[in-house]
Chain A
Amino acid sequence: MSSTFSGISTALSSLRAQRQGLDVSGQNIANVNTEGYSRQRTEMSSVEGVSNVPTIWAKQDPVGTGVNVGDVTRIRDELLEARVRTEHGNNAYHSGQSQIYDSVQAVFKEPSDTGLQERLSSFWSDWQDLSNQPGDGAVRTKVMQQGGAVATGLNQAHTQLSTIYSSSHAGAAAQVKDINTAAAEIASLNKGIMQAKVGGLPANELADRRDALVLKLADLAGATATVRDTGAVDVSLFGSTLVSGTASRALALNGAETLSEQGANPPSLTFTDNGQPAIVTSGELGSSMDSLNTVLPKYAKSLDDVAAKLAATVNGIHQNGFDRNGDAGEPFYTGTDAKSITMSITDPDKVAASGSANGRLDGSNADALGDVATSGTGPDVTYRQLVADLGVTAKSATLKAETQSTITADLDSNHQSTSGVSLDEEMSNLLQYQRAYEAAAKLMSTIDQTLNTLINNTGR
């Protein structure tokens, strides 16, 4: 038989438990819009009257003695979170690639009435005009100006690619800094969480903050995470440890800051502690590294090919001809890449329009240059190949980014549906706890009245 007053303690444990339930609901409601917050729940269990270890002389109560408040736990799905991290890394990578291709496409501005193709077409057309009027100084000047415009177009495109390269490099440096800060912070949060766990204290909010940082690392560099029994989380980058318990490592970005030095000194990542190379192929940083080492050098090289082809074609034909004074033609362009190509002749009379040293008003060489427009091997073709390649690759990058963003959003939504706070749910929880509290209070007053009957009114 239980103690006379045990009912009061049962009611008290309930009052405490329901109060705690209300508090947790309050915390959930307060953080309904907090990024990275996982909803929490009070784990309650009934207190049994009978011990599960039968002992002689032990007191056995047929009725339990109230409710026990256990841990306040975060509601989350480890597997889902691992997937969310992976897809976040992929999403950041693809959207970064889509952005870089957009910037490269802006450099080439095709198809348009102002792009390099149009300048080239005008250039060839001007040669034909010169062929029609080889003696006209104005037409000669026009050919030279248009030739200069083509060279400037190539120079500008190269400069713009260089600018994109430099800003991508600066972006990568900032991302490395962010990664290092986040890794250090995760390590220190790990420490706090481990200590709390040892002391049996709740560390839900710390864990939420840490998990948000791990997700940030996934966004930045496609990092993966493993939870340890101590409560700490280990973070690794494609097999290399970045955070292990309370220790974190740092990355460093090395290599050329300018496009022209990229070939000799390609950007790379290393760990600062042992100088070993770090591989990052996902996340924002993965995308930046790909842009720096693959995308931008590739199109810069293609642009150089166009410039080299232009210089070789025009110079080759130009040097076959004869200028206004009957002298053999000089090279029209100097420089063989997009950065350095410039007009090398400055005197309109030096334009070699004539096909023979004697026929000074002959226009056959200018005509031959004009014919490059329809040649199947001219610089126009090289340039069109560049734009075709860019178009196809950029389109595929955009499509990948769109698909990936849908996948990521779906997973985010799944994650929300597991760990997110639902206000309706919290409202109904509030009602439940409130009613339970009222009922426990009622229980207490009922027992009080019973005892009042027993103590004050019995035997009068």
Chain B
Amino acid sequence: MVIRVTERSLSMNAMRGLQANQGRLSKTEEQLTSGKLISKPSDSPTGTMTAMLLRSDMRTQEQYARNAADGKNWLNTIDSTLGATHDNGLRVRDLMLQGMSAGAGGSDTARAGIASEIDQIRDAMIGLANTKYIDRPIFGGTTEGPAAYDTDGNYLGDSGAVTRTIAEGTKLRVDAGGEEVFGTGDNQVFKVLADISDHMKNDPSKLSDDLDRLDTALTTIRTAQASVGARSNRVDSMQQTANDRHLELQTQLTEIEDIDLPKTITDMTLQQTAYQAALGATAKVIQPSLMDFLR
């Protein structure tokens, strides 16, 4: 059977076609103006899911990189402080050897001078032990106080550790506990220095024992410094990883979410052409009627 075509069905069909054309155009235009392929979950349920995961991952990696940067600052501050402390320790050792030697350097007067210089160095080392990073003493654990050691060299901090999360499940300690670095009890470096100064003035015979104690204390500091260095390297590499990962995620997100500009523009041009063709065809088909030919 031949389908009977009426004016109304012609124009209804034409309108339907034009509407569909315009719908496609408007979708493409929306994509072009927003730059996004996915503007609501139903555009691509899987894409939406991936995009949300990627975004959340990106935020996490960003945060890891920030944590790592903060951790690195802690470790670097500790590293340079320990370096300076160690240098001071070596200076004390030199002075001790000088004081223990026979001759002019080992005279009572000279030893009194040396003792006073060692006292000075001790004060400086206590000052170094109280070094702060963003208002927190770096050797004080999680203490709230302004200093890790008082002026007499007594520990004021606690045994809490400062850690930074630098990757999923990886928490790295970024401080160095004062008691681990500077020792405790009789082996505490400030106590050793106080003894050295005292013995220098009053009991030089004990100085050789003191020298051993000082060497032990300096070894502890060096060990701590090595550990800090190793951790700093680790933080460095993790920070790099987090940054790389962030970039990678960003690329993936772009691939999923963002439009392919040349493709979208080409699509739009094609759709525009199709729309114009449809308009032209509609105008041509709907216009003529039998009335044009009846006289």
Chain A residues close to B by CB (< 8 Å): 32-33, 101-102, 105-106, 108, 110-111, 117-118, 120-122, 124-125, 128-129, 131-133, 135, 354, 356, 358-364, 367, 370-371, 373-374, 380, 384, 387-388, 390-392, 394-395, 397-398, 409, 412-414, 416-418, 420-425, 427-428, 431
Contacts and interface: CB of A to CB of B under 8 A. Distances in A.
A128 B67 contact: yes
A343 to B, nearest CB: 21
Given A390-B41, A394-B41, A427-B294, 10 more contacts: A33-B8, A111-B55, A121-B56, A122-B59, A125-B59, A359-B158, A391-B40, A394-B40, A416-B8, A424-B7
A373 B41 contact: no
B48 A110 contact: yes
Contacts of A421: 6-8
Interface string B6-50: 111100110010000000000000000000001011111100110
12 contacts: A33-B8, A105-B42, A117-B52, A117-B56, A125-B63, A361-B136, A373-B59, A384-B49, A397-B42, A398-B42, A414-B3, A422-B4
B116 interface: no
Contacts, number: 168
Given A359-B160, A422-B4, A128 B290 contact: no
Contact of A32 (B7, B49, B257): B7
Given A387-B49, A416-B8, A361 B42 contact: no
A387 B63 contact: no
Interface in B181-206: none
A418 B3 CA distance: 8
Interface stretch (B119-127, B161-169, B228-236, B237-245): B161-169
Contact of A129 (B66, B144, B294): B66
B134 interface: yes
B98 interface: no
A105 B48 CA distance: 12
From A354, A414, A424, residue with most partner B Cβ within 10 Å: A424
Contact of A111 (B8, B16, B165, B257): B257
A135 B60 contact: no
A423 B7 contact: yes
Contact of B16 (A131, A358, A360, A409): A409
> Interface size for chain B: under 10, 10 to 19, 20 to 34, or 35 or more residues?
35 or more
B41 A420 contact: no
B257 A428 contact: no
A361 B134 CA distance: 12
Contacts of A101: 42
A213 to B, nearest CB: 20
Nearest to B69: A132
Given A111-B52, A388-B48, A395-B42, A125 B163 contact: no
B289 A373 contact: no
Given A111-B52, A135-B144, A391-B41, A121 B59 contact: yes
A331 B59 CA distance: 26
Contacts of B294: 427, 431
A97 B46 CA distance: 21
B142 interface: yes
B5 A370 contact: no
A124 B163 CA distance: 17
From A33, A394, A420, residue with most partner B Cβ within 10 Å: A420
Contacts of B59: 118, 121-122, 124-125, 373
Q: Identify the 4 closest CB pairs spanning chains A and B, nearest first.
A: A391-B41, A391-B45, A359-B142, A394-B42
Given A106-B40, A418-B4, A427 B67 contact: no
Nearest to A394: B42
Contacts of B102: none
A417 B6 contact: yes
Contact of B60 (A121, A131, A414): A121
B62 to A, nearest CB: 7
A251 B292 CA distance: 52
A28 to B, nearest CB: 11
A417 B48 contact: no
Contacts of A371: 165
B141 interface: yes
B12 A413 contact: yes
A380 B52 CA distance: 10
B70 A417 contact: no
A420 B8 CA distance: 7
A409 B15 CA distance: 11
A133 B69 CA distance: 13
Contacts of B3: 414, 417
Given A133-B134, A358-B158, A391-B45, A367 B12 contact: no
Nearest to A35: B8
B53 interface: yes
A417 B5 contact: yes
Contacts of B43: 395
A444 B28 CA distance: 69
Given A367-B163, A373-B56, A416-B12, A361 B143 contact: yes
B212 interface: no
A290 to B, nearest CB: 17
Contacts of A122: 59
Interface string B97-119: 00000000000000000000000
